[in-house]
Amino acid sequence: MALQVGDKAPEIKTVSFQLSKLKGKRVVLFFYPKSDTPGCTKEACEFRDFKKKFDKQETMIVGLSPDKEEAQQKFAVKYGLPYAFVPDPDHAIAEAYGVWKEKSMYGKKYMGIERTTFLVGADGKIAKIFAKVKPEGHAEQVLAALSE
């Protein structure tokens, strides 16, 4: 069953990150398909450019992808991305959030991330879901939702 607004956000626990430890803070979880690709770079850089505004709203930004940690770190350094990244190479987190989907490119079907962002409230529940995200302008859209 797909996650809905009001549901408790599934726990994310890795060696360097644990979602439940952020209770009391709002968290933006943006799932993206692959580090250092055009759309993902645009989306990640927009979150970087608006980070101070997210900080003022006491909201953390976290990027999640099926990339390994090394690829995400390289991506973060290359573009000066000043927020947390969570590797999900076995796509268990993406599956828990319902964003690991069948996709199609040039008639070929494959499994991958459907670009989706979850706004998790300070109470640990999902406050808003942005499905099938278009990278351009998305960070601003999420920022606007924090004021709703």
- What amino acid positions are annotated as catalytic residues? 40
Report whether 5 contacts 126 (CB < 8 A).
yes
Report whether 13 contacts 46 (CB < 8 A).
no
Cβ-Cβ contacts under 8 Å for 129 (sequence gap 6 or more): 3, 4, 5, 116, 117, 118, 119
Residue whose C-alpha is closest to residue 8's, from 125, 120, 118: 125
